[in-house]
A and B are shown apart, each in its own frame.
Chain A
C-alpha cells in the first residue's frame, strides 16, 4: 500500500486550555483530553484499540490504558521530534487503514511552561544517547546550546543567500498573534501585537528576537482516528486524511542540519510536500489555509517555499505586511495562533485547528475551508498532512 488517501478519518478532537501552569500532571491532562475527544466522536474508552503517542511524552501507553480502563489495545506506536504531530496522525491512519486497529487515539500532553524547559539549560552526558553525544560534543562546549541559537545559524545563512533583513521576519509572529488573539483558548487571547512590537522584541540570539520563538505552554490535545466507513456512524462530520507523509534526508539533524551542501532550505519539508500533494491529488492553489510549524517563525517562509506556495527565496516577500497570510488573505496561516500565538505543544494544536477549520468551528474561520495543509517538524525530520472535508 503506497497510498492511504481516504483510508482514515479524524472523528474526534479535544484540547485543554493553554496556560503557564496547568496545575495538573501531564497524565491527568492526557486522560482529560482523551475522554473529551472520545465524547466528541461519540465513542467510549471501550471502543479504543490503538494509541499513538509522541516519544518524549510523559504519559506512557500503559499508564493511559490503566487510567482510562482501556483493556483491548492491539496497536500502539509513537513518533519523535517536532515532526511528531502530523506523523502521529499518519501512524493512526496507517493503523486503521491496515485494520490492525479500528479506533486509534493520538495524544500529546506537555507541561512545557510550569514543569520544565523545552531545552534544558545543561545536558549531562549521562542522559544522552550515542547519537546525541555525537551532535552535542561539537556544539555544547562552544556555548551553542539553545534551540534559538541552532535555528539562528540556519536563518543567518538563509538571509545571506536571499538578501533578507531580519526585521522582515516580524510579519509571521504578528499574524500568528492576531489569530491567537481571537482564540479564547490561547495564551494570547485578546493580546494581539503589531509589527512595531516585533521590532522592539529583545534580541535573543542575533539575528533573531524573542518573538521569533514559540511560547512555552502547559496544554494537551487528543484526536480520534477511524476508517471512513466507521466514521459515518459517529457524531461529527468526518475529516478525511487525503495525504500524509514523513521525511528524513541525508544529514538531517534536529535543528542542526549544518553539514550538508546547502543549509538555506528545509529539504525534508519539500519531500513531504511532494508526497502529500501527489497522494491527495491536489495542488498548492487548492489549499484554503495552512497550519505550518511556527515553533521558529523564520522557518515559516522557508516552509512556504518548500511546499510550493512560492518560489525559493520568496517566502519572506509572501509574508510581507501579512496580508496574504492573515484571515481574509489568500492563504491564512495558523488560524488558532499556532506555537507563536496560541502556545507550544510541539504542533499538536496545528492538527486540531486543521480539523476545526474543516468542521467550520475555528475562531478564525476560513470560508469553505475544505482542504487544509498541516506541516510539522520544520528544521529537522519533517511530516505533513492534507486533510479534507470530502473523501
Chain B
C-alpha cells in the first residue's frame, strides 16, 4: 500500500527558497542529496544556511547512498488535508549519512512497518512539477 492522493485537492507543493533549493533540484533529477559542510564534512538536514558544528557557510549538496532505516513512524487514520486519503503512514527515516527525513513508505501495509526496518529511497512523480522521495523496504 502506498499513499493515495485525491487529485481534486492538490497537496502542498514544497515552497522552494534559497536555503533548500539544492535539495529539491536533486529530487527533481531523482537524486537524493543532503547539505554537507565543505569545511568539516558534517551532513545536515533539514537544510540550514550555516554548519551548526563549525559555523561555516560553505556547503555542498552531496549525494546520499539512498539507504537507511525506519527510526519512527505513525499512521494517520484521519487526514488533515483532503489531498491525502487516510489511512496513510508517515515515517521518520535515518539515512546512512546520519541525517533523518520525514517521508512515506511505499508498497507496504502500515502494520508491516517496524522501527529499524532497512529501507531505500524511490522517487514518486506526484503531479506536474512535484516529485517526492519515498521509501521502500529492502530485502
Interface status of A194 (Cβ within 8 A of chain B): no
Interface status of B74 (Cβ within 8 A of chain A): yes
User: What 6 A-B pairs come out closest when comparing CB atoms?
Assistant: A125-B15, A143-B84, A146-B80, A206-B75, A152-B74, A157-B72
Q: Give the A interface residue count (CB, 8 A).
A: 38
The answer on a CB contact under 8 Å between B80 and A149 is: yes
Give the CA-CA distance A130 to B126 in the complex, in Å: 25
The one of A207, A250, A259 in contact with B100, judged by C-beta atoms closer than 8 angstroms, is A259
Chain B, Cβ-Cβ closest to A210: B78
Shortest distance in angstroms between A199's beta carbon and chain B's nearest beta carbon?
15
Interface status of B17 (Cβ within 8 A of chain A): yes
The one of A136, A142, A204 in contact with B90, judged by C-beta atoms closer than 8 angstroms, is A142
Chain A residues positioned under 8 Å from B72 (CB to CB):
153-154, 156-157, 160, 258, 263
* B27-50 CB contacts (< 8 Å) to partner A: 45-48
The answer on a CB contact under 8 Å between B90 and A143 is: yes
Q: With A134-B46, A204-B77, A205-B78 as given contacts, are A141 and B19 in contact (CB-CB < 8 Å)?
A: no
Q: With A141-B11, A141-B130, A206-B75 as given contacts, are A157 and B102 in contact (CB-CB < 8 Å)?
A: no
The answer on a CB contact under 8 Å between A135 and B46 is: yes
Chain A residues positioned under 8 Å from B3 (CB to CB):
142-143
* Interface SS of B by simple majority: loop
Give the CA-CA distance A205 to B110 in the complex, in Å: 12
Interface status of A367 (Cβ within 8 A of chain B): no
Chain B residues positioned under 8 Å from A121 (CB to CB):
80-81
Shortest distance in angstroms between A214's beta carbon and chain B's nearest beta carbon?
16
Shortest distance in angstroms between B49's beta carbon and chain A's nearest beta carbon?
9
Give the CA-CA distance A160 to B78 in the complex, in Å: 23
Chain A residues positioned under 8 Å from B83 (CB to CB):
143
Q: Give the B interface residue count (CB, 8 A).
A: 42
Give the CA-CA distance A154 to B73 in the complex, in Å: 9
Most buried by A among B3, B14, B17, B103: B14
Chain A, Cβ-Cβ closest to B47: A134
Chain B residues positioned under 8 Å from A123 (CB to CB):
12
The answer on a CB contact under 8 Å between A134 and B99 is: no
Q: With A139-B102, A160-B115 as given contacts, are A146 and B17 in contact (CB-CB < 8 Å)?
A: no
* B6-29 CB contacts (< 8 Å) to partner A: 11-17, 19-20
The answer on a CB contact under 8 Å between A204 and B12 is: no
7 additional A-B residue pairs with CB within 8 Å, beyond A149-B76, A205-B77: A133-B15, A133-B17, A137-B14, A138-B45, A138-B102, A153-B92, A258-B71
Q: With A156-B72, A157-B115, A263-B72 as given contacts, are A145 and B81 in contact (CB-CB < 8 Å)?
A: yes
Interface status of A1 (Cβ within 8 A of chain B): no
Shortest distance in angstroms between B20's beta carbon and chain A's nearest beta carbon?
6
Q: With A133-B15, A137-B15, A259-B100 as given contacts, are A143 and B74 in contact (CB-CB < 8 Å)?
A: no
Interface status of A234 (Cβ within 8 A of chain B): no
Shortest distance in angstroms between B6's beta carbon and chain A's nearest beta carbon?
11
Interface status of B132 (Cβ within 8 A of chain A): yes
Chain A, Cβ-Cβ closest to B114: A160
Interface status of A390 (Cβ within 8 A of chain B): no
Chain A residues positioned under 8 Å from B65 (CB to CB):
none
Give the CA-CA distance A119 to B80 in the complex, in Å: 9
The one of B20, B99, B115, B130 in contact with A137, judged by C-beta atoms closer than 8 angstroms, is B20
Q: With A122-B81, A128-B15, A146-B80 as given contacts, are A206 and B102 in contact (CB-CB < 8 Å)?
A: no
Shortest distance in angstroms between B79's beta carbon and chain A's nearest beta carbon?
7
* A97-154 CB contacts (< 8 Å) to partner B: 119, 121-123, 125, 128, 130, 133-146, 149, 152-154
Chain B, Cβ-Cβ closest to A145: B80
Interface status of A63 (Cβ within 8 A of chain B): no
The answer on a CB contact under 8 Å between B14 and A141 is: yes
Chain A, Cβ-Cβ closest to B131: A141
Chain B residues positioned under 8 Å from A130 (CB to CB):
17, 19
The answer on a CB contact under 8 Å between B11 and A143 is: yes
Interface status of A184 (Cβ within 8 A of chain B): no
Chain B, Cβ-Cβ closest to A256: B102
Shortest distance in angstroms between A156's beta carbon and chain B's nearest beta carbon?
5
